[in-house]
Structures are given as C-alpha cells and as structure tokens.
Amino acid sequence: MDAAYRLHACRESIGKIMELVRTALLGAVLMLGGCAVGATIDHRNPTPNLLAETTQSVVLVVVDQRNIVVDGDWNPTLVGWAPTAALSRFPIRTTSGMPLAHDLSGAVASALRGNGIEVTVSLVSPSTDDAGALDAIVASGAERGIVIYLLQWLTHANADVELIYRVRVDVTDGSGTVLAMNEVLSEDELGYAFVDPTAIAAEEAPAAAARGLERLLNDPAVLAALE
C-alpha cells in the first residue's frame, strides 16, 4: 500500500511539474509572438562615417532589388522577420513607414553632406534595373553618380539575432559610365535573446547597417572615383 501510494504521489508531482513547465514555455512563446507584432527598425540613423571628399556634384540612387520586393511578394518597407507563437513569422518594417531604400538614401546623403558634398537624391521604384538607375544619373545632370543596389537585406530576429545583407555600389561619371564598383556581403551577429529578440534587432541593426555602408562606400576605388 505504501509503495502504491508513493508511486501515485510521485506521478502526481511529476504531472504538476510538467504542467508548470508547459505553462512557462507557452507564456514565453506568446510573449515572443506579442513582441513581434508591430516591430520596426529605424535605418535613418545613425548616419555612416563616410570618408568621401569631392568638389563635384553628386546624385545618389538607392535601388531595392531584393527578390521578395521586386516580385511584389512584400512591401519595400520590409526590413526583417520575427518569429511568432504559431511558429510562423511576422514582418519587421521601417520605423518611418517609408521604403528601406528611402531611409538608407537619407542616411548616406546626410553623411555626404556632412563632408561638404553637394548631393541630390533620385528616388526610383524597386522595379528599376541597372540601366534605369544609370538613366536617372544622366537625367540629374550631376557630375558623379552613386548607385547603391540592395540585393539582400533582412534582419532575422530569432533567438540569435542577425542582419544579413548583400549590397553593391557603382560610381559613375555624368554620362553613366561606371568608374568603380564595390560589393559587400555579410551576416552580422547582433546578439541573443529568447524573450524579445526584436528589441535587440531595433537597437543593434541600425549601427550594423551603418558599418556595412561604411565598408561599401569607404573602399579606396570608390573614394578615388568620386574625386
């Protein structure tokens, strides 16, 4: 009788412990999903530390050529993904509500103007191809053109938060002839958080983006072509 009672009590205790574990895990997952809803990242700041110097007028074009945007699957305000309680994902969007290309062009233009460079921004649609971007440069009448192509750009706000991007820059003369090119591909680890990885994404992704733009635009060949 005592052995049967102890076995029953043990099973009952284990059942209560498992129920507590299930409740805790469910609460954590629901919290994770709740934090993901409405998550944003502000890519307007900080501005990258750019080394470019030139007395020539410059037009800046940022083209969003990410497949998921060009194909029309997602809005160009998409900047990342966050997991949900249903094991699916929520989109992370720009804080400004503007396309990612718009926010990044503003950050780069601000950095160049801080160096005393005369810069205009030419806004183009995600469907713009390389030839269309060069046409925008010629139409601007500027002496130099900077075209930044966003080929990949997403922050993944899982427990391990990372920014994955692939970007290319072409520097041209006023006729659209390419003088220099640079491409950067990176997977930047931003931190770890089980409960609210979107908070780390919002805090760390903008600085990582600025560093990526610095790697792209502070390339010696790019700097020389702008002079």
Exposed / middle / buried, residue 98 (Cβ in 10 Å: 0-12, 13-18, 19+)? middle
User: Coil, helix or strand for 169?
Assistant: strand
pLDDT in the model for residue 96: 97
Exposed / middle / buried, residue 45 (Cβ in 10 Å: 0-12, 13-18, 19+)? middle
pLDDT in the model for residue 26: 41
Q: Is the distance from CB of 52 to CB of 105 less than 8 angstroms? A: no
- Domain coordinates of the chain in residue numbers? 2-226
**Blockwise average pLDDT, block size 10, the chain, 227 residues:** 51 53 45 62 95 97 95 92 73 96 97 97 91 95 97 90 96 97 95 80 94 98 96
CA distances from 166 to 12, 84, 104, 138, 151 (A): 55, 26, 14, 25, 5
**Rounded distance between C-alpha atoms, residue 121 and residue 89, angstroms:** 33
Count Cβ atoms below 10 Å from residue 54 Cβ, excluding itself: 18
User: Coil, helix or strand for 67?
Assistant: helix
